[in-house]
């Protein structure tokens, strides 16, 4: 039986002094992880396995960002990759006892609105949602099972990317299809919820006057989406039924007329597997740039007609979605950039904010070049900010709470 997690705001007892909390994010060919102490915002160790398989690579850093040589081990599967990570962890932090493991789970369906402690029944429920997120959910489940085997008896906690959006109004939760599809779970779920949860908490801490109003958060990275947050609650999101919808991404198409898929089926005679490959892996920035790259840094450096085409479309769709988000909330008080592109690309931030003076958006180019926290000009009506996201910390907080480590606001 699953159990929702409740946190309190007290000091952690000494019994947790040597406890560690592991945050795992298992993707289709990657495994991100971070290890946190019982309290505090700084990870003791972070790392990422890329290209799981024969050509897999593992990079690990300590709490101060210094590289750590991984322990010897295979990276051919999620199980072997996790084993190699654990071997490194035990070598570097021999006295640390993992008290709970938190996992990112992309899809929580209509029922999960908060993190839950995982048992077999929960895993079976997660598996029923695999058809809703075929490229993510099976690997999330595999990561949980691998952690269960690696840490027998240790609490496992699932944190859902869809949970943050579950309170959205019906008009943004449904499609104009026969209502039976809505009842079957064909809805606008929204994703990147762990990122939006973190940004909402940070904004409440550093700019509560803005968070009490109308905020649009742009999570821009290899996966990209936007969320309208009104008085701290998600009221609209660019992603819908799947993680394909909304903005173009590194290799995903973003918003697409469903007639295009009918064309692929009827005229090109493609099967669903072939269409899935195109929409998820061959589109977005990669497809628009003629196969040049899905990495914004490469596209910015290339300075070719193909790279310009990809960046132009990416920026245009962000601007268009921003207008829609503002319309949903009846205005906008702040725009927040996060994610790999949002936090690091001064070009994308500058171009997104161009021609948006009618929304009160005007950036200070010096602040933008420095990637300052506030990059809007002094007299701009709408505040524009950069707030680095921390999905791993959201997961770690849920893992801590699962075993009774009380929450403590950062200093």
Burial zone of 179 (CB within 10 Å; 0-12 exposed, 13-18 middle, 19+ buried): exposed
Q: Closest Cα partner for 26 from 5, 44, 52?
A: 52
Residues 6+ apart with CB under 8 A from 386: 336, 337, 338, 342, 343, 349, 371, 372, 373, 375
Q: Which residues, listed in sequence order, are joined to residue 228 by a DSSP beta bridge?
A: 216, 236
How far apart are alpha carbons 308 and 314 in whole angstroms?
10
Residue 251: CA count within 13 A, CB half-sphere = 10
Strand locations in 119-257, DSSP E? 155-160, 214-219, 225-230, 233-237
Contact 136, 28 (CB under 8 A): yes
| Catalytic residue flag (residue 257) | no
Distances (CA, A) of 34 to 45, 115, 259, 288, 372: 6, 18, 42, 34, 26
Structure tokens given for 207: 């700019």
Distance, C-alpha 115 to centroid of its chain: 15
- Cα 27–Cα 287–Cα 309 angle in degrees, nearest 5: 125
Longest Cα separation, the chain: 67
Quickly list H helices, 72-136.
78-92, 120-128
Q: Which of 14, 50, 79, 161 is catalytic?
A: 161
Cα(264)–Cα(350) distance, integer angstroms? 36
Q: Are strands 155-160 and 116-117 parallel, antiparallel or unpaired?
A: antiparallel
CB burial string 278-304: b at 16+ within 10 A, e below: bbbbebbbbbbbeebbbbbeebbebee
Active-site residues, by number, are 161
């Amino acid at each position: 039986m699953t159990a929702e997690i409740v946190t309190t705001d007290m000091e952690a007892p000494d019994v947790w002094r040597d406890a560690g909390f592991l945050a795992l994010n298992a993707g289709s060919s990657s495994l991100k992880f971070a290890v946190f102490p019982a309290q505090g915002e700084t990870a003791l160790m972070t790392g990422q396995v890329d290209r799981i398989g024969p050509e897999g690579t593992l990079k690990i850093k300590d709490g101060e960002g210094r590289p750590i040589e991984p322990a010897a081990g295979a990276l051919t599967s999620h199980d072997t990759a996790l084993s190699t990570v654990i071997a490194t962890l035990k070598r570097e932090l021999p006295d640390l006892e993992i008290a709970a493991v938190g996992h990112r789970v992309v899809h929580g369906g209509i029922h999960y609105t908060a993190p839950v402690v995982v048992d077999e029944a929960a895993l079976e429920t997660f598996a029923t949602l695999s058809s809703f997120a075929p490229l993510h959910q099976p690997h999330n489940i595999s990561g949980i099972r691998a952690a269960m085997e690696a840490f027998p008896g240790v609490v496992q906690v699932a944190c859902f990317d869809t949970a943050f959006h579950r309170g959205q109004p019906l008009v943004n939760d449904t499609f104009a299809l026969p209502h039976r599809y809505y009842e079957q779970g064909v809805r606008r779920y929204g994703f990147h919820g762990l990122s939006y949860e973190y940004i909402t908490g940070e904004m409440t801490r550093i700019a509560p006057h803005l968070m009490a109003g109308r905020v649009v958060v742009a999570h821009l990275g290899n996966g990209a989406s936007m969320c309208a947050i009104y008085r701290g609650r998600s009221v609209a999101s660019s992603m819908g039924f799947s993680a394909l919808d909304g903005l173009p991404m590194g290799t995903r198409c973003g918003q697409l007329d469903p007639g295009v898929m009918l064309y692929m089926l009827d005229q090109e005679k493609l099967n669903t597997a072939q269409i899935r490959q195109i929409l998820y892996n061959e589109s977005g920035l990669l497809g628009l740039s003629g196969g040049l790259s899905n990495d914004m840094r490469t596209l910015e450096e290339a300075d070719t007609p193909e790279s310009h085409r990809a960046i132009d479309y990416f920026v245009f769709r962000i601007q268009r979605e921003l207008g829609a988000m503002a319309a949903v909330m009846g205005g906008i008080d702040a725009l927040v950039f996060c994610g790999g592109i949002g936090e690091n690309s001064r070009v994308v931030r500058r171009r997104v904010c161009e021609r948006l003076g009618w929304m009160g958006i005007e950036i200070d180019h010096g602040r933008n070049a420095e990637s300052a926290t506030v990059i809007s000009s002094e007299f701009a009506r709408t505040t524009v900010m950069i707030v680095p996201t921390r999905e791993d910390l959201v997961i770690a907080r849920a893992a801590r709470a699962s075993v009774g480590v009380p929450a403590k606001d950062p200093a």
